[in-house]
């Protein structure tokens, strides 16, 4: 599971093709960021999510040898997101959390405050609906 937009077709209209870094594999609906001018995978400890991959693509060449279709998160779309543990209404809804990796929200960390939880989608499956804080509020 990754960050699945609630309105995927609208996001595709707003997307663009960005150059990928060396050895980067982007999976559809995962988070990406720019590093040294090229798109790379987002990671634990990032203080801001910048882009969402709209396709699965691998760059097996040098920096810039491949492009991936992405959309900026500045428009603040809503996403169904996978959490690291079971989300709890009274504890997690309305609060901001860090990334665990390019696919998951880390409910035990609130340093970077990258993702805001609006409501629980399916607690048993660790799924919530929310949006990215852009720019980050940490």
**What gap in Å lies between CA 103 and CA 2, rounded to an integer?**
5
* Per-residue pLDDT in tens (0 to 9) along the chain, 138 residues: 678 887 765 666 678 899 999 999 999 999 999 899 999 999 888 887 789 999 999 999 999 999 999 988 876 788 999 999 999 999 999 999 999 998 999 999 999 999 999 999 999 999 999 999 876 675
Q: What pLDDT was estimated at residue 13?
A: 66
Listed by start position, the domains of the chain span 4-72, 79-132
| SS3 category, 66 | coil
- Tell if the pTM clears 0.95, that is, is over it: no
Q: Note the pLDDT of residue 104.
A: 95
For residues 116 and 90, give the distance between their C-alpha atoms in angstroms, rounded to a whole number. 14
Angle (CA) 110-8-32 rounded to 5° is 45
């Amino acid at each position: 599971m990754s960050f699945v937009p609630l309105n995927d077709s609208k996001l595709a209209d707003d997307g663009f093709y960005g150059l990928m870094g060396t050895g980067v594999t982007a999976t559809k609906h995962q988070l990406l960021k720019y590093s040294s001018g090229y798109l790379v995978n987002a990671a634990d400890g990032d203080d801001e999510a910048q882009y969402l991959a709209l396709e699965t693509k691998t760059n097996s060449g040098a920096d810039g040898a491949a492009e991936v279709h992405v959309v900026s998160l500045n428009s603040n779309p809503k996403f169904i997101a996978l959490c690291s543990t079971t989300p709890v209404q009274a504890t997690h809804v309305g609060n901001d959390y860090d990334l665990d990796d390019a696919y998951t929200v880390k409910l035990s960390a609130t340093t970077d405050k990258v993702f805001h939880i609006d409501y629980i989608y399916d607690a048993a499956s660790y799924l919530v609906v929310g949006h990215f804080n852009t720019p980050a509020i940490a």
